[in-house]
Amino acid sequence: MNIMITDATPTGQETARLLLAGVPSPITLRELIRFRVREEVARHNARPAARFAGLITPSAAETALNGYRSRPPRRVDWEAAADTAVRAFGRNGFFVFVGDRQVGDLDESLTLTEADEVSFVRLVPLVGG
């Protein structure tokens, strides 16, 4: 199933949109975070660029306008990035909403439909990976 993912600021300003294809349902929040990061990293690694704009900031990256710049462009390890994202969620680095409902438990089972919009509200830039 296809799910629309949005990134937003705490004030509600949308900063990015990502269509995730092949999302299983039901899925736990932990699995959804890992699925999202794996997809972002796969897209980046297929066409390595100087900028990586995703849920986490790869290590050895510097902040650049509209993303993070790696010197030189490099492949990102999706598992390390996903682990970083899951840890960041546990430290309140970002919140996740399905529709207007906040999901607070990584192991909560989510039964998603294509009509659902999942929002990631980032509180601080996440570093790691």
Closest CA to 15 of 89, 122, 103: 122
The structure's pTM equals: 0.81
Domain boundaries, the chain: 3-128
Q: What's residue 49's pLDDT? A: 61
Q: What's residue 43's pLDDT? A: 87
Q: Which residues of the chain have pLDDT under 50?
A: 60-66, 129
